[in-house]
Structure 1
Amino acid sequence: MRQRLPPLNTLRLFEAAARLLSFKNAAEELLLTPSAVSHGIQALEQWLGTPLFIRGTRGIVLTEAGGAYYPKVQAALAMLAAASGELLARHARRLTVSAAPTFASRLLMPRLAGFREAHPGIDVLVDTTRERIDFADGIDLAIRMGRGGWQGMVAEELLRETLVPVASPELAAQLADREPAEAPLIRITSVAEDWAEWARKTGRALNGRPPGLSFDTLLLAYDAASRGLGVALGRLPLIDAELAAGTLVALWGPPVPADTGYWLVSAENRAGDPAIQAFRAWMAAHPVRLA
């Protein structure tokens, strides 16, 4: 059934005036004029059909009806405020984190359950678009590959990868005694350090051999390698799961460190945001480690 309710704003005016026993003090608390408070309470009295205050030269006092009405109005407003506060705590704060798809699925997502348990009032949205993000477009934090030193940014290094060629067990067995220049290489177009950097670091020759296949994500490259389509340049710890499962095996010597790393980055002018600080603290307390 439809409930008959007085204008809710007049209840707020009445509660303040009854608690303070002053239209003037209620007006100051609510940032209104005394006239606005007085007119609002008059409207409530007309709606109820009974006076709530006795107005005198020395101030105001509650009538019998006003005295009985006041604690119920105060309790109702307090209940509304508490319910609204709980809803705001649950939904008011969203933290948007930008990360590359493979990092997000392999290293970030396993940590989100713990973060959500520790900070249930912060909703996390993970954005995996590969374009360079702009913090003015609603992104709060980014996990960015590079060497750090970005102007106007607060950046903390999360981890530095190591590079290792990987292939399916069958293809790796065929290539065990052959050089990289003789192997079908899979290129990853979205990374800064690929085969040329690995060759420079290891002293291996590629002889200018063009890659047989190219992909724009690590996951696709690793999937192609596991299907025997070529050798991909794996990145630890992102490739740990495949190496542990045996769907990919390492080739051509030990891993070599990459020059670039993953950094947790935010705009300098947002460094004091509580949600950003909470996420930074969580990542620092639960670091990503190489196997």
Structure 2
Amino acid sequence: MRLPPLKTLPVFEAVARLSSFSLAAQELHVSQSAVSHQIRQLEDWLGEPLFLRTGRSIRLTEEGNQYYEHIVAALGQIQRASEQLQGNEDSQIRLAAYSSFAVSWLIPRMQQLQRQHPQLDLDLEMLSDLPHMSDRVGDCFIAINPRQRGFSSDLLYSEQMFPVCSRSYWQQMCDELLEAALIEGPEPDWIETAWIQRFTLLSATSIFEKKNEDWARWLAADDQRMQADTRVQHFSHMLLAHEAARHHQGIALSNDYMFSPDDSGLVRLPCHNLDTGDEFHFAYKTSRRNEPAIRILRQWLLQEASRSGLRKG
């Protein structure tokens, strides 16, 4: 078996993760020159440069980045195998999830997770956009429609979007619709899609990465088009539009993990839903599926998604 100098690999992992020779030296309790020597030794053995050095900054080369992905996974497997043999398995786990899902659904339930599984040490990474799944980012992921070789996943939620607004804004809407003789009572059981454009729409570009696209698709689901005179307030993220709706600024599109029927601050409007086609999955490396921390988190997420009504069937 032809292996590189094994003592160089933890040094390489630390430098790559910290993007710094000096910080790696501090973490490993060695001199910076010793770190530099180990990296040179590894690069000489591989016959490839692993880092680009520009002044005081460094970054991985393309080859270095590919090598890092394999090395960090291999070192992790060695660590976990050793802990299993010692009977001292690490219960720490890093979960990377979209910020809207993490803030609106996961964080409010983390205390319950800690009560049920006190041995689990969960580090939560909130991401606005999920990159290529790898051990460098997290041990497991909540990802939309994951299709990556070497990973398994379980469906948590099939997204549907629907309009919401504050209770006071809803009352204002009802008053205006009643005055226009479009409804007969104070709070209708159903409102027509076309009436929505009489009011301010709060649009989030993060959903479909295009201005007005969220409302354009919602309207199109009922064979409607956005009118030129429709008032639209734009936000970069769904969380911002949702919060603006809570503060009486208009109507936002929400979904089941962001909206709770118990939330007295928001009202779900009696309109149609938009099936976005996005499916949220709990994803993890197939080779790591039997690790206790991943098994515990997987089981809890599936149970909680079903219990809360997020996961149907």
Question: Does TM-score exceed 0.5, indicating one fold?
Answer: yes
**What TM-score results when the alignment is normalised by the length of structure 1?**
0.59
Deviation at 1:256, TM superposition (A): 4.2
Aligned 8 A contact 2:91 2:292 in 1: no
Specify the alignment match of 2:202 in structure 1. Answer: 186
Is residue 2:226 matched to residue 1:206?
A: yes
Specify the alignment match of 2:252 in structure 1. Answer: 232
Specify the alignment match of 1:115 in structure 2. Answer: 113
Specify the alignment match of 2:170 in structure 1. Answer: 172
Deviation at 1:110, TM superposition (A): 3.8
Aligned 8 A contact 2:96 2:137 in 1: no
User: Structure 2 CA distance, aligned partners of 1:210 and 1:254?
Assistant: 19
Aligned CA distance change for structure 1 residues 149 and 247 (closer, same or farther; 3 Å): same
Unmatched 5+ stretches in structure 1? 1-84
**What TM-score results when the alignment is normalised by the length of structure 2?**
0.55
Specify the alignment match of 1:28 in structure 2. Answer: none
Equivalent AA in structure 2 for residue 249 of structure 1: V
Is residue 2:161 matched to residue 1:143?
A: no
Specify the alignment match of 2:238 in structure 1. Answer: 218
Aligned CA distance change for structure 1 residues 172 and 285 (closer, same or farther; 3 Å): closer
User: Structure 2 CA distance, aligned partners of 1:120 and 1:245?
Assistant: 28
Aligned-pair RMSD on alpha carbons?
Answer: 2.9
User: Structure 1 CA distance, aligned partners of 2:115 and 2:195?
Assistant: 49
Unmatched 5+ stretches in structure 2? 1-85, 178-193
Aligned 8 A contact 1:188 1:218 in 2: yes
Summarize deviations over 1:243-279 as a string: whole Å, max 9, x none. Answer: 5343222335243444212211123333333321221
Specify the alignment match of 2:128 in structure 1. Answer: 130
Deviation at 1:287, TM superposition (A): 2.5
User: Structure 2 CA distance, aligned partners of 1:113 and 1:244?
Assistant: 19
Counting aligned pairs with the same residue, the percent is: 22
Deviation at 1:208, TM superposition (A): 5.4
Aligned CA distance change for structure 1 residues 169 and 285 (closer, same or farther; 3 Å): closer
Specify the alignment match of 2:304 in structure 1. Answer: 286
Deviation at 1:210, TM superposition (A): 7.0
Aligned 8 A contact 1:167 1:250 in 2: yes
Aligned 8 A contact 2:217 2:274 in 1: no
Aligned CA distance change for structure 1 residues 115 and 136 (closer, same or farther; 3 Å): same
Aligned CA distance change for structure 1 residues 208 and 158 (closer, same or farther; 3 Å): farther
SS of aligned partner of 2:309: coil
User: Structure 2 CA distance, aligned partners of 1:105 and 1:117?
Assistant: 19
User: Structure 2 CA distance, aligned partners of 1:173 and 1:206?
Assistant: 23
* Structure number with larger C-alpha Rg: 1
Is residue 2:209 matched to residue 1:195?
A: no
